[in-house]
């Protein structure tokens, strides 16, 4: 028992107290777990604060991030700072798991979240009957189009007025349209049904979200193991694997090295085509995974182009662009292949293009250095040194390593004279 007299006499230390209520995340550890944005909105409502005030007055000073007061970057691009600040305010340790941060080692952040709010009309109705409706993290994922529980499409706009809630809104999911002149019911199901692939992807992403909250995560070299030990043994070459799986060649093979992270939509595509759940693909031992390769989707598998056909196509593109500068990258884009394969199949042609490109760049650099020297002589004749801003304006060149290199070379040729920066 606690000795009240000693406690009042300040002889016993008080246990630490949190600044904000340590609310429990809704449906934590399940595919229906709420998002960090929804948690922040509920936390601000419990303290009779707006979400803007919670961020600007409590979280932003704590993490020294003034941009957290702006809602657009705070929910998504600054989720690390936001989750760390909320963890410190509530004395919790699991709020970073209300995002996809547990999987940042193997998943790229580009295109991870959908640009506007989305919701499942039937889930909103069920959550409203149990209590307050909240935003599921699964609805935020950009490549997800369906609800795995109700087998319906996600809604992103009002069915009556067509208005779309912005992702920086400070309101949680509502049952009716926030536009006063509309107030239509947002629980009306979407027309149409999702495909089998959409439901499969939604269910797999939901399980990955649940695994992330339970502390499971993949190692950074997981993607290399998947390519080398699971995917490539199923095909004759990397090119055939890319065509069959619906992925680009440059995605799995770049200058002899593998990419370390994939976008979530590419992980989902790989999971669907291999017939392996996304959770097993990320966490299970490679030797224990037994893929069931699906047939290539319509219009996805492409016949392999021979070296002769590739060379003829390259010469055709080069003739069409006669008189225009042509780089290896531009040639690869117009031919629809990756630069790695182009360099490997047509080494002489790509080597010649690269040499011409380097010569053009050297000529352009020498021309700019000559202009800088002329400006320096003109400035000296007028009685004042050349300024960096005037040089940038004349060359139409931004500040950076390239511009600094031009200045250094011009200064060397003039023995350091006529420049004052």
- Contact between 286 and 230 under an 8 Å Cβ cutoff? The reply is yes
- Rounded Cα distance between 398 and 410, Å, is 17
- Rounded Cα distance between 283 and 288, Å, is 11
Per-residue pLDDT of the chain (421 residues; tens, 9 = 90+): 456 666 556 655 666 788 888 999 998 999 999 998 889 888 988 888 887 788 777 777 665 555 444 443 334 456 777 888 888 889 899 998 998 888 988 888 878 888 788 889 898 888 888 877 888 999 989 899 999 999 999 988 888 887 777 655 556 777 777 777 788 887 888 888 899 999 999 999 999 999 999 988 888 888 888 888 888 888 877 777 877 887 776 666 543 455 667 889 889 989 999 999 999 999 988 889 888 888 876 554 455 566 777 777 777 877 776 666 777 777 777 776 777 777 887 888 888 888 888 888 888 888 888 888 888 888 778 777 677 777 777 777 776 777 888 888 888 887 765 555 4
Dihedral-angle region of residue 183 (phi above 0 means left; psi in -120 to 50 means alpha; beta otherwise): left
CA 51 vs CA 34, 141, 170: distances in Å: 16, 22, 6
CA-based nearest residue to 25, from 75, 113, 93, 82: 93
pTM: 0.69
Dihedral-angle region of residue 133 (phi above 0 means left; psi in -120 to 50 means alpha; beta otherwise): beta
Q: What is the pLDDT of residue 125?
A: 87
> For residue 196, how many other CB atoms are within 10 A of its CB?
9
What are the counts of helices (DSSP H) followed by strands (DSSP E) for the chain? Answer: 20, 2
Largest CA distance in the chain: 94
Q: What is the pLDDT of residue 8?
A: 58
């Amino acid at each position: 028992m606690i000795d009240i007299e000693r406690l009042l006499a300040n002889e016993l230390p008080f246990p630490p107290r949190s600044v904000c209520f340590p609310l429990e995340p809704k449906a934590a550890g399940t595919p229906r777990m709420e998002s960090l944005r929804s948690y922040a909105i509920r936390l601000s409502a419990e303290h009779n604060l707006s979400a803007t005030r919670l961020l600007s007055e409590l979280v932003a000073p704590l993490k020294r991030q003034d941009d957290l007061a702006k809602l657009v970057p705070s929910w998504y691009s600054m989720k690390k700072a936001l989750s760390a600040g909320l963890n410190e305010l509530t004395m919790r340790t699991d709020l970073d798991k209300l995002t996809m941060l547990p999987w940042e080692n193997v998943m790229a952040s580009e295109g991870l979240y959908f640009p506007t709010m989305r919701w499942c009309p039937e889930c909103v109705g069920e959550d409203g009957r149990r209590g307050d409706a909240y935003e599921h993290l699964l609805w935020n994922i950009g490549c997800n189009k369906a609800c795995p529980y109700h087998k319906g499409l996600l809604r992103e706009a009002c069915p009556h007025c067509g208005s779309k809630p912005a992702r920086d809104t400070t309101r949680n999911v509502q049952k009716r349209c926030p536009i006063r002149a509309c107030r239509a019911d947002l629980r009306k199901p979407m027309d149409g049904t999702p495909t089998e692939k959409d439901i499969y992807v939604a269910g797999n992403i939901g399980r990955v979200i649940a695994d992330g909250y339970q502390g499971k995560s993949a190692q950074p070299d997981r993607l290399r193991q998947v390519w080398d030990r699971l995917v490539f043994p199923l095909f004759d070459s990397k090119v055939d694997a890319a065509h069959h799986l619906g992925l680009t060649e440059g995605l799995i093979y770049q200058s002899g090295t593998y990419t370390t992270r994939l976008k979530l939509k590419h992980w989902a595509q790989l999971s669907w085509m291999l017939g392996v759940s996304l959770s097993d693909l990320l966490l299970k031992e490679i030797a224990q995974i037994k893929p069931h390769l699906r047939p290539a989707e319509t219009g996805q598998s492409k016949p392999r182009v021979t070296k002769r056909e590739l060379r003829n196509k390259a010469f055709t593109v080069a003739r069409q662009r006669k008189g225009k500068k042509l780089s290896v990258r531009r040639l690869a884009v117009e031919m629809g292949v990756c630069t790695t394969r182009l360099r490997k199949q047509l080494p002489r042609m790509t080597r010649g293009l690269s040499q011409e490109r380097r010569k053009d760049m050297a000529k352009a650099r020498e021309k700019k250095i000559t202009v800088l020297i002329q400006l320096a002589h003109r400035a000296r004749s007028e009685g004042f040194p050349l300024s960096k801003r005037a040089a940038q304006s004349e060359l139409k060149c931004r500040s950076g390593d390239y511009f600094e290199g031009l200045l250094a070379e011009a200064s060397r040729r003039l023995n350091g004279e006529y420049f004052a920066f």
